[in-house]
Structure 1
Amino acid sequence: MSAMARVAARQAELRRDAQILRAALSADIAQIFETARVAETPLPTLWLDIHDATAANREAAEYLVNLRETLRSNPFRDYQDSVDLPAELQWFRHRGAYHGVYETLRELGNILRPAMKIALGMTPEARANVARTLHLRGKLWTYEDDARRLHVFARPYSTVDALLAAERPRLPPLLEDPLPESRPARLKLLTPLPEAEREPDAPLLSSRGRG
């Protein structure tokens, strides 16, 4: 990788983490204000809730900085991808096992609900918050390319990795000099379920972790 490409990749990695942090904070603040509107929360409590949400987001940002440096300096050696990693994403190899392209964070969050111990109905925004929360915890990393395709990586051997591998079984290893016909076919990517087949709405999930 050239020095210029390495710098561009690091900048893209920083931008993506910042996008997720902003979206998570926005979702938390929106939920706080909605709760305050319905419950007529006293102003001192509202101020404290906003302060806590901001502090938690700042803490997550610091964690992601440390995680990026750790993964770059001590990458895993055995990545069990379920979809071939595209050449243009090789500079994100340290982010984990590659599981292909998903349509939206909502689709991804719906699949990964068990990692948050959520069994039943969620609103679309709550499903997206599941994916954001797992990203902020370092279990998942997502990247949106210039074509707005959402590429998904997971920490190897984590619950998230196992759930995504179950959706798209891992590629079998290639033989040393395989015949053309023995190469595994590229897996077809799944399409999201129609809205009519998805779970009913439920209260929004906050991405904040208290206690």
Structure 2
Amino acid sequence: MPPRRCFTPVEELYQILGRYAVLELRHNQDAPVHRQSGVKPPPDLAGDRNLTAAERLARFLDEHRAPVLLCAESAGRREVLLESLREVGLEPPPVANWHDFLQSGLDFAIATAPLDRGMYFGPEQPTLVCEAQLFGNRVAQRRRRSQKQDEAAAANIFRDINELREGVPVVHLEHGVGRYTGLQTLEVDGQQAEFLTLEYAQGSKLYVPVASLHLISRYAGAD
């Protein structure tokens, strides 16, 4: 089966997404807007460097006295934050999202979402606090590095079998660097199918179904 039957090309995906309206929320009140939502970023939580991030959040919870949802960037970061919060006597239960938090009736909970700004609806309203507000620019810088790494990795993926050249080193997601030696037709369960042939050390070969082209990427050190 051709890869195009299994995966949507990037250009086509953007065309599909372009049919939908875009809602853009800006925290800059001076920027031109069509409607003022009344939502503001939460108060600065990264200012007092004499306190740890967990201590600053604990102080905010004492002063705010309304439900607060804390968002961690990833599951791993969530565990790191929970460890820090335990040191100040806080152990928020996890929730799946903002809607679940509002339905839960909890005063304080934690979720996983890659956000860099929270939402403040007022002194007695539920508030969304994100990890970046506790640590300042460090989280945003880490995300930018991660995005660049993801973009670089995406650029190395083969999107069409015609991009492959025989004799060129490639990287298999699970088996590492090998050399592409061409296409080969093999019979599997009585069916003829095309496979990419990768050659490894000592002449060992790996046969990759054409439908699994997404597992193969360019070898960055080949240039």
Same fold (TM over 0.5): no
Q: Indicate the structure with greater helix content.
A: 1
Task: Please report the TM-score for the alignment, with normalisation by the length of structure 2.
Answer: 0.22
Task: Please report the TM-score for the alignment, with normalisation by the length of structure 1.
Answer: 0.23
Which of 1 and 2 has greater Rg?
2
Q: Indicate the structure with greater strand content.
A: 2
